[in-house]
Chains A and B, each alone.
Chain A
Amino acid sequence: MTEAVFQAPKRRAKVRERFEAPLPVSLRARADEEEHIIFRADLVAHHVTVSDPAHMLPLYQRGFFGKGVFSRSRPEHETSHRWRCAGDRALPVISSSEYQKRLGWARAALLLQGLEDESVSHALHTLTTPVQLDIQSQTSEARSSADQPMDDVSCDSGLTPEPAGPQRQGDPRYDPLAAVCPGDPEQKSMSSERSDAGEYVLVELSEDDHSENLSDAQLECRRNPFSMMEYLQLSYEEAFFLVYALGCLSVYHSGEALSVAQVWTVFRSRQPNFCSSYAAYHYFRSKGWVPKSGVKYGTDFMLYRKGPPFYHASYSVVVERCDESLRGAALRSFSWKSLAALSRITGNVSKELMLCLVIAPAGLAEDALCSPECLRRFSLQEVIVSRWVSSRERTEQEEI
């Protein structure tokens, strides 16, 4: 019959990120200067969010925890993709239609607060007066820099230099897959960290939205009517892992920090099967996988080898709970149809379907689950489910 074949994780064609050491291990040369930061997250409604930009980026870069709420995964929402230097700072450039849209949002927000129409209009009128920000003296510089390609921001607000440390991506000493795929994936240089404090924007006043040549557009500096601050959202498993296993996050609720046991209790009350899904998350993290949410494909986790930017997901995991004889009420009862659909979609996107069985010992009482200490008593079993097509199997054997 068929035997289990393990596929190597598939590299992505273009890698735009640099791999950093995962939390909390730091391998920087300046270890003494680096203090151990405890990141701060807030429990707002039913979500764990990190809003401080200085905490957001390390959390994502070193282990790919969380998801930016305005972005696909990495929190990289910017007011605009075009920037111009004005004085000593870089300001985003937006089109006039975009500016009008933001004014509309600002108006709606003010109306929601219960202000009257007239005061709202007055407030917006004040908001829309152009701001003189030494832009006149700098317009000549803006025009001269218009010859440069648009996505190359050559302001001196500090480009990070090329990474000085050893390249761990594609280096055979550290990466066992580098021998399999010897070519170094293409890397683009990291974009500069721009201060997106969002206070001022440069608005294009020309009619044509698609003007490529910025020297034609008159840029005017205005206040940003509606600044959208992106934050990082952590799932419960990720947040608890950072709190419990790595000890580098603390969760605040209504201003006060919660203890580990309190976090466990809160998460268990909010998510019914948190015990088993956290056990699976912890297990896969310990093995070096990066588990992300599998909602897109109808499962619980997607396992990535180093992180989503580097490899395509290898496994699509469904977490199930059972007792020691591998029986028990299923968290997700599969019918023949739903299992066929799941297996088919997993095959279509070139992943493998894996069932992760969290085996709880028989004598585990309900109150033992109130503390994270119960995690020691779980054991896990992985089962890979694959489609077997009889005609394909037969043809292969005939070829042999």
Chain B
Amino acid sequence: MWRQHEVCFGDVIDGDPAGMNASQQSSSEEVNEDLDTKSESERQPSKDALIDISFCGATPLLWKVSDMKRCRSVGVIGALVGSLARQPRQNVRLGRPLELLQEEALLLEETSSAAASLRPQDCGDEERHSEAVRQYEAGLESSYKEQCALALEDKKRVLRKIMNEKENGERVSGTDDSGNPIRDRLNALDQAFRFPWSAMAVQLCTARAGFSHCPEERSFHSTDWPMPRDERLNTRFCVYRDLKNKGFYLTSAGKFGGDFLVYPGDPLRFHAHFIALCISMDEELPLCDILAIARLGSNVKKTVLLCSPRSRSETGRDESVEGDVVYSSLQWSSMV
């Protein structure tokens, strides 16, 4: 069941009754993270703290600002996909979470800077799950009643203010007509006021205990990588890793019909130079697709790269081996 709520993301303490009181301290400090120069990750040695990747299905997401800063410094860009609380109905500026490409998440895991985190719903049996659901709904109910009462108070206050202003105006001008409808409304408010469920503000907690624990707890919390690695992902990951090692920054190129957009530096400072299309060595592409993407590349002033990892048949492993990638560039002649 999906309810439409005004959702705001805030770094609020997790309402878990079991309570990790130790984390309350750090979480409340996280609220001031953007303003505070010393963030949590800097307070602790960065070797211990892992970037916490949560999965929504197969999509890797980052929720914490400290994680996002760290992975940006490594060169993983990602894309913001959350809506902003104050400006929900637009997608020009988006907020957290940061969605990572599969390849970016794999790279972070390979370099041991990140691990997948365990979601509370994943573990536990049916009973605990329904218990958690009941608690959550009870919490919503109490929050609703509270907000109802607050909204009623607010509305009464507004009406009283209007009434007072009108009475002041009447005293000055000497007429007495418009005060009564408002007084009637005020009196009827207690019975007639309805606070719709959909107007309720719901808070979702985004702070987690995080991977700032000792290694035993970390292994307890981390989980298996939920993404299956098929051949397609292996090809793309090989190319991604090779281009990253060469010092490029890569983002997704879905708009251009390619796999990656390759930037010589941070995407905020440069335009993309290449559109990378990852195909395996023995894959066949229809000629019209090659023509279309080469023409597109020339129109948007980027070079199209066909990238294929060189297959190492002697290793016989199904995981990708770090090896060479073959690049071919396509350009439409007689066009700039």
Name the A residues within 8 Å of B295 (CB-CB). 296-298, 345
A349–B335 CA distance with the chains assembled, in angstroms: 13
Tell me, yes or no, whether B90 is within 8 Å of chain A by CB: yes
Name the A residues within 8 Å of B89 (CB-CB). 394
Contact at B299–A345, with CB atoms within 8 Å?
Answer: yes
Contact at A332–B286, with CB atoms within 8 Å?
Answer: yes
Chain A interface residue count: which class?
A: 20 to 34
Tell me, yes or no, whether A27 is within 8 Å of chain B by CB: no
Contact at A295–B288, with CB atoms within 8 Å?
Answer: yes
Tell me, yes or no, whether A139 is within 8 Å of chain B by CB: no
Name the A residues within 8 Å of B255 (CB-CB). 340, 344
Tell me, yes or no, whether B179 is within 8 Å of chain A by CB: no
In this complex, how many residues of chain B approach chain A with their Cβ under 8 Å: the count is 21
Given contacts A390-B91, A391-B90, A394-B90, contact A344 B291 (CB under 8 A): no
Name the A residues within 8 Å of B300 (CB-CB). 348
Tell me, yes or no, whether B293 is within 8 Å of chain A by CB: yes
Name the A residues within 8 Å of B254 (CB-CB). 336-337, 340
Tell me, yes or no, whether A160 is within 8 Å of chain B by CB: no
Tell me, yes or no, whether A384 is within 8 Å of chain B by CB: no
Contact at A342–B292, with CB atoms within 8 Å?
Answer: yes
Tell me, yes or no, whether B188 is within 8 Å of chain A by CB: no
Tell me, yes or no, whether A299 is within 8 Å of chain B by CB: yes
Tell me, yes or no, whether A338 is within 8 Å of chain B by CB: yes
Residues from 154 to 172 in B contacting A, C-beta threshold 8 Å = none
A345 (CB) vs chain B CBs: closest residue: B296
Binary per-residue interface labels of chain B (251-270) against chain A in the complex, 1 for a CB within 8 Å, 0 otherwise: 00011111100000000000
Residues from 290 to 323 in B contacting A, C-beta threshold 8 Å = 291-293, 295-296, 299-300
Contact at A349–B288, with CB atoms within 8 Å?
Answer: no
A394 (CB) vs chain B CBs: closest residue: B90
Residues from 308 to 341 in A contacting B, C-beta threshold 8 Å = 332, 336-341
A342–B90 CA distance with the chains assembled, in angstroms: 27
Complex partner residue of B291 from A296, A332, A390, CB under 8 angstroms: A296
Given contacts A332-B286, A394-B90, contact A337 B296 (CB under 8 A): no
Tell me, yes or no, whether B282 is within 8 Å of chain A by CB: no
B319 nearest CB across to chain A (Å): 24
Tell me, yes or no, whether B92 is within 8 Å of chain A by CB: yes
A349–B292 CA distance with the chains assembled, in angstroms: 12
B92 (CB) vs chain A CBs: closest residue: A391
Tell me, yes or no, whether B127 is within 8 Å of chain A by CB: no
Contact at A295–B291, with CB atoms within 8 Å?
Answer: yes
A contacts, CB < 8 Å to B: 295-299, 332, 336-342, 344-345, 348-349, 390-391, 394
B contacts, CB < 8 Å to A: 89-92, 254-259, 277, 286, 288-289, 291-293, 295-296, 299-300
12 more CB-based (< 8 A) A-B contacts, given A297-B295, A338-B257, A349-B299: A298-B289, A299-B288, A337-B258, A338-B293, A341-B256, A341-B258, A341-B293, A344-B256, A345-B299, A348-B296, A348-B299, A394-B90
Ordered by A's residue number, 17 sampled pairs between the chains whose C-beta atoms are within 8 Å are A297-B292, A297-B295, A298-B289, A298-B292, A299-B292, A332-B288, A337-B277, A340-B256, A341-B256, A342-B289, A342-B292, A344-B256, A344-B257, A345-B293, A345-B299, A348-B296, A394-B89
